[in-house]
Amino acid sequence: MIVIIYMTASRQTKDMVKEIAISSEDISHMIYAGIKSPYPMSTGDREVIQRRLSNIREEWKDIEIFICDLDQKIAYATHEERINSKVADFISSKTVLQALDGSLKTGKEPVRVFEEEVHGKRYIITAHPILNHMECYHCHGSSRKVLGGMVVRKSADRSYAAIAELRNRNIMVTILGVCAVVVLIYIILSKLVRQPLMDFTSKIKELTMRIPEGDYSMRIDIRRPDEIGNLVASFNQMAETLEEKNNLLRRVYKELADANKELEAFSYSVSHDLKAPLRGIDGFSKMLMEEYSVQINERGTHYLNRIRENIGRMSALIDDMLTLSRAGMIELQPRHVKFSDMLNNVLEDFRGEIESRGISIKIGDLPIIRCDSTLMQTVFSNIISNAIKFTREKEKPEIIIGFNEGNDTIFVRDNGIGFDMQYHDKIFQVFQKLHLPEEYEGTGVGLALVKRIVDRHHGKVWAESEPGKGATFFVKLPIEK
């Protein structure tokens, strides 16, 4: 029993020492020291150097070593067939090659260990400069700081397999009850080192999975007077701070959402209540013009006409404001819509002006979209209305409507007056107009309404234009493939 316990403990210790040695950068320094001592490299004895590399290949079959010059040409290697080739012929990782190049130029060690995967196999790679020491001066002189570099590539698969084998062996030993001493040592080590680390990493993993879901309530319950304890305390403090900030953000968001709803309700109420007095003013001014036209002189008639024109503008503005408010409040009724059918309904509303002005309408292949058809009809009615309005000065007005499959966008392109792109964001804001009312009619609400409806559909709207060269409006919506 004692012999079995001793042999098992000895084998486990040997495995762990071997894995730690092979998995760390220390193996590279050990190999380098072995090649130099007793001075085969410093004396330039190529046969001894190559023989030692071959011995390394025999001892550690999953390790490959390249010793190269400043041009990364391989001078020595555990696999002799690699000699006179370039390191880049066998190492595909650009990061490793760049690190090696940096070491060859500066003589400094790379600050990290590299990983590479080739044909499904994983490797751990280290790179080191070979410096020009005093014992090398008789061959290389003293002018160069760096003579070459050494790259060590080790298969990581064996390490993972060894770890798995060690775990399975521990389980078997525990089940058989043969190695009480080993089990005791394992429990002690696990309690002091491994288990706290595993608990910590497990909790960190769980924490990082819960934080993206908005759950910041979790805390790691590990109390230790060492670096792990300090790290746990820092993570707990971070989670607590994030939870406070998130709660504050939720409160602010709710306050903003409530304020926005109140503002929309207020806007709707004000706009709605203004309609009644306007109708009264319009009605009485009309009565004055019809029933008292004889008593009113030409100037008075002019003033009444101005009043009625402004009432019309005000009424249109209020109607647009009501529509804008409704667009933000009404519940969406999304369904699959054949866009070409919806477009025909929109164009029918403008049929008279299209025919009278001879506007060329070109329509490409159009998709099926998922949307609230009533609201989306309002979107394209506003966009096409603008296209018709701003091509008024063209002898041959043209409007093109199509679909870009590359980015799933519907576009409306015209050859009208266009606009300067520095005002792009301005045109989608309420009451923002780039032209005087005398030049082009409108309330400045249409494109703001377009943006609000598209935003509610989780879509995107934008425009591209040049002054005098027309404008193209793009609408990105959920497309039914």
Question: pLDDT digit string (tens) for 445-468?
Answer: 778 888 988 988 889 999 999 888
How many CB atoms are closer than 10 A to CB 408?
Answer: 15
CATH topology of domain 15-163: Beta-Lactamase (3.30.450)
pLDDT digits (tens, 9 = 90+) for 236-261: 777 778 778 878 887 887 777 666 66
pLDDT value of residue 17: 40
Average pLDDT over residues 349-377: 90
Q: How far is CA 239 from CA 43, 222, 233, 246, 251, in A?
A: 59, 15, 10, 10, 18
Report pLDDT digits (tens) over 317-326: 666 666 666 6
Residue 266's pLDDT band (cuts 50, 70, 90): low
Higher pLDDT, 116 or 24: 116
What is the rounded radius of gyration, in angstroms, for the C-alpha atoms of the chain? Answer: 39
Cα dihedral 345, 346, 351, 354 sign: negative
Helix, strand, or coil here: 126?
Answer: strand
How does DSSP assign 422-453, residue by residue?
Answer: GGTTGGGSTT--SS-TTTS---S-HHHHHHHH
Bridge-partner residues for 306, per DSSP?
A: none
Q: Which of 66-80, 247-261, 274-288 has the highest mean pLDDT?
A: 66-80
464, 474 Cβ separation under 8 angstroms? yes
Residue 74: in which H helix or E strand, if any? strand 74-77
Sign of the dihedral through C-alpha 444, 445, 451, 454: negative
pLDDT score for 13: 47
What integer is the mean pLDDT of 186-214? 69
When the pLDDT of each residue in the chain is averaged and rounded to a whole number, the result is 78
**Dihedral (CA of 339, 345, 346, 352) sign:** positive
H, E, C per residue of 143-200: CCCEEEEEEEEEECHHHHHHHHHHHHHHHHHHHHCCCHHHHHHHHHHHHHHHHHHHHH
Inter-CA distances, 327 with 83, 229, 374, 446, Å: 74, 54, 10, 12
Interval 419-439 mean pLDDT: 76
In terms of C-beta distances under 8 Å and separation of at least 24 residues, what long-range contacts does 309-314 make, across chains too? 311/278, 311/281, 311/282, 311/285, 313/437, 313/443, 314/274, 314/278
- The CATH class that applies to domain 335-480 reads alpha beta
118-147 mean pLDDT: 82
Q: Which two tokens stand for residue 256?
A: 């903003």
Residue 41 pLDDT more than 60? no
Q: Which of 45-54, 337-346, 356-365 has the lowest mean pLDDT?
A: 45-54
* Residues in Cβ contact with 59 at an 8 Å cutoff, skipping those fewer than 6 apart: none
Nearby residues of 172 by Cβ (< 8 Å), 6 or more positions away: none
Q: Where are the domains of the chain?
A: 15-163, 266-329, 335-480
